[in-house]
């Protein structure tokens, strides 16, 4: 997974896989999903990211699995 930020356009791109994009779906004017040929999400684009996604701060937490 990669998170890329483009300050010149204030756009964040969250890449979930390296798959080929078959279709892009507009969720709203600021959020787009890129899908592969099987309908799996490849990436998410967030326009106006500083305002909408608080892109100035980013953290990653991996949660531990609880034993069964």
Domain that holds residue 36: 2-52
More confident call, 46 vs 64: 46
Is residue 60 assigned to a domain?
Answer: no
Is residue 58 assigned to a domain?
Answer: no
Q: List, for residues 6-60, the tens digit of each pLDDT value.
A: 889 999 999 999 999 999 999 999 999 999 999 999 999 999 988 877 666 667 7
| pLDDT recorded at residue 54 | 66
* Partners of 24 in the β-ladder: 34
Q: Residue 16 and residue 4: Cα distance in Å, rounded?
A: 11
Nearest alpha carbon to residue 9 among 25, 27, 32, 39: 32
Q: Residue 41 and residue 29: Cα distance in Å, rounded?
A: 18
Number of domains in the chain: 1
Is residue 65 assigned to a domain?
Answer: no
Q: List, for residues 31-41, the tens digit of each pLDDT value.
A: 999 999 999 99
């Amino acid at each position: 997974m990669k998170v890329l930020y483009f300050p010149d356009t204030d756009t964040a791109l969250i890449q979930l896989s390296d798959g080929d994009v078959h279709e892009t779906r507009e969720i709203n004017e600021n959020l787009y999903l890129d899908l592969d040929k099987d309908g799996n999400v490849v990436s998410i684009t967030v326009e106006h990211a500083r305002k909408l996604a608080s892109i100035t701060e980013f953290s990653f937490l991996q949660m531990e699995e609880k034993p069964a």
